[in-house]
Structure 1
Amino acid sequence: MTTTTGELRPAPGIIGWRTPLVIIICGCAIALLSFGPRSSVGFFIQPMGRDLALGRDVFGLALALQNLLWGLGQPVAGAIADRFGVLRVMVVGALLYAGGLLMMRYATTPLSLDLSAGVLIGFGLSGCSFNLVLSAFSKLLPPERRGIALGAGTAAGSFGQFLFAPFGVALIDNVGWQSALIVFACLMLLIIPLSLALATPPATTAANAPVVEQQSFRTALAEAFGHRSYVLLVLGFFTCGFQLAFITVHLPAYLSDRGVSAQTGGWVIAAIGLFNIIGSLGVGWLQNIFPKRYILSVIYFTRALSILVFISFPITTFSAIMFGAVTGLTWLSTVPPTSALVALMFGTRWFATLYGFAFVSHQVGGFLGVWLGGIVFEAFGSYTPIWWLAVLFGVLSALINLPIVEAPVARPVAQPA
């Protein structure tokens, strides 16, 4: 097997006690923990808003900042992880995440909410979310196990959503939103010991290493952004972030506005997480059979269609849960084929960095989805324009992914002297 894609292999003895099963289990646990609180944050908007006299536009801006900074911090965290190893990045990320949740509990002004829920949690997520888990899987696991591992890591994040949504609602109802945030902060510290299993070695380049393994950071970026298929993949990922962030933050309030109870809203978000486990694992398996670009196109079109049907009929408990189930099947199932395409095109040498830049597009979409959702609601008292924008973006992304070429990037072969 050649190394034309610049694939790095783990150093001898790096596995040791860390068998592939241990790596996958610990990585999935980290994905579960890190994705749980941020997917439950929508349930804090109404009780915090009542107690602090803050509007949804204020929360929308703070959570939009969270999504944006998560995205902007991802390439930086990825580059550090690629160069120095994943472990230290995850430890710092977990500490920032826990600190942001703790500071959010004591936030009383828009600025303190922006700093806690926005800046600290945003940068914390960039250092300890499932994105770095997928990077560690790509570097530590053999190629034949990566497909299902990428699907499992993504599904674990969804299972965190399934667990934390009703758990968060129950905490808020029984002990208040302040204590709920403290509990979430303490749980984030569990990421630190779990990250020991995902430690990757610092990048070293031998003098006689293949040219592709000596590729610099700048060269890798220039190659990626000069590659048409990568650019299309990045543009399509924008829609995923826009739809997911808007639904995560504003769907609970949207349902409440239409007479659906908070408990039902919790189970709708939980249904999204539960069914995304099926979707992520299913796509992780299907991408070994069908072209990944077609899978992505179907996912985006299905999302657009499900949103169209959901907003076109009266909202009931049944329709809300059905929407959660259908949405869950396509929720994070874009991640396994997207990350697999990045690894296929460019190898794993700079995987965390290049996937991180794709994730920037995702989070810019998330920023706009959350921010515009809050602004539009405060201005018009309705989320309808944003729902229709989500439908339009879904159709456009379904078309954008079709021309992607699924092949390693062409690189010049070094000639012997």
Structure 2
Amino acid sequence: EPYGYLPDGRSSEDPKTQVQVQPEEKEITFREALRKRSFLLLNVIETIRMTTTIAVVTHVMPYLGSLGISRTMAGLVAGAISVCSIIGRFGFGWAGDIFEKRLVMAGAFVFLGAGMLAFCYVSSPWILILFLLLFPAGFGGGMVLRGAILREYFGRQSFGKLIGITLGFAAIGEAVAPALAAWTYDTVGTYDPVWLALSGAVGIAIILILRLK
């Protein structure tokens, strides 16, 4: 059909059979993408997201245990994080197909940051529920929008290389986060400083997302 060949003798003049020609997408070479400020910002943003996520996921049970919450409840919360992230993956992924992806990603990080603040001040089961409504949705939404924004900003030509670099930067955060949280607790006897620092980092990430062009 893209070449004008149609079945059953139909004419290409028939409006029912005319092919919609999509405009050519702008492609950016790998070297051009590396020089783009937006690519650097995306790497920083993703590193913050993964550092925050891995720190929480790794230490959620010992943290809740330090607050006097039972291991059974802490285990349920740990398992619920992944399950609840499905809501964010579908919800923010759907929104990203309709609205500007940059703004949708900023919304996902607002959820992530608000969830971190709730996590900092867990004092009742209701705060844990609030955490599970916000934090997993935020990190799940950021996960699906990461690739979508890379594709939108830089095209498909070098997508594999670019996302590989982005995931490499994120892996640095994943490696550092558990040790950083553990060191903080061992040093000062509480997780609060690292949770507050990560909440602030998420706030910085929101500003960086809004500066993407």
> TM-score under structure 1 normalisation?
0.43
Aligned to 1:372: 180
Using CA pairs below 8 Å that are at least 6 residues apart, which structure has the higher relative contact order? 2
Q: Distance in 2 between matches of 1:358 and 1:293?
A: 17
The letter for the 2-side match of 1:371 is A
Report if aligned partners of 2:48, 2:205 keep a CA contact under 8 Å in 1.
Answer: yes
Q: Distance in 1 between matches of 2:186 and 2:24?
A: 54
The letter for the 2-side match of 1:353 is K
- Output one character per residue of 1:202-227: Cα deviation in whole Å (capped at 9) or x when no partner: xxxxxxxxxx8xxxxxx61x222211
Q: Does 1:386 align with 2:204?
A: no
> TM-score under structure 2 normalisation?
0.81
Q: How far is the alpha carbon of 1:243 from its aligned partner?
A: 0.8
Aligned to 2:45: 236
Q: Distance in 2 between matches of 1:4 and 1:313?
A: 48
Within 5 A, what are the aligned runs for 1:13-412?
220=30, 222-314=31-123, 316-405=124-213
Q: Distance in 2 between matches of 1:342 and 1:313?
A: 35
Q: How far is the alpha carbon of 1:346 from its aligned partner?
A: 2.6
The letter for the 2-side match of 1:338 is R
Q: How far is the alpha carbon of 1:319 from its aligned partner?
A: 2.5
Q: Distance in 1 between matches of 2:34 and 2:53?
A: 25
Report if aligned partners of 1:5, 1:345 keep a CA contact under 8 Å in 2.
Answer: no
Q: Distance in 1 between matches of 2:152 and 2:134?
A: 29
Partner of 1:334: helix, strand, or coil?
helix
Report if aligned partners of 2:48, 2:170 keep a CA contact under 8 Å in 1.
Answer: yes
Q: Distance in 1 between matches of 2:139 and 2:207?
A: 18
Q: Distance in 1 between matches of 2:125 and 2:89?
A: 25
Report if aligned partners of 1:271, 1:321 keep a CA contact under 8 Å in 2.
Answer: no
Report if aligned partners of 1:299, 1:398 keep a CA contact under 8 Å in 2.
Answer: no
Q: Distance in 1 between matches of 2:25 and 2:125?
A: 53
Partner of 2:210: helix, strand, or coil?
coil
Report if aligned partners of 2:88, 2:138 keep a CA contact under 8 Å in 1.
Answer: yes
Report if aligned partners of 2:102, 2:212 keep a CA contact under 8 Å in 1.
Answer: yes
Q: Which runs of 5+ in 1 are unaligned?
A: 7-211, 213-218, 406-417
Q: Which has the larger radius of gyration?
A: 2
- Output one character per residue of 1:60-89: Cα deviation in whole Å (capped at 9) or x when no partner: xxxxxxxxxxxxxxxxxxxxxxxxxxxxxx
Q: Distance in 2 between matches of 1:269 and 1:246?
A: 12
Q: How far is the alpha carbon of 1:345 from its aligned partner?
A: 2.4
Report the RMSD for the aligned CA atoms in angstroms.
1.9
Greater CA drift, 369-378 or 300-309: 300-309
Report if aligned partners of 1:267, 1:321 keep a CA contact under 8 Å in 2.
Answer: no
Q: How many residues align?
A: 192
- Output one character per residue of 1:11-41: Cα deviation in whole Å (capped at 9) or x when no partner: xxxxxxxxxxxxxxxxxxxxxxxxxxxxxxx
Q: Distance in 1 between matches of 2:44 and 2:38?
A: 10
Q: How far is the alpha carbon of 1:5 from its aligned partner?
A: 4.4
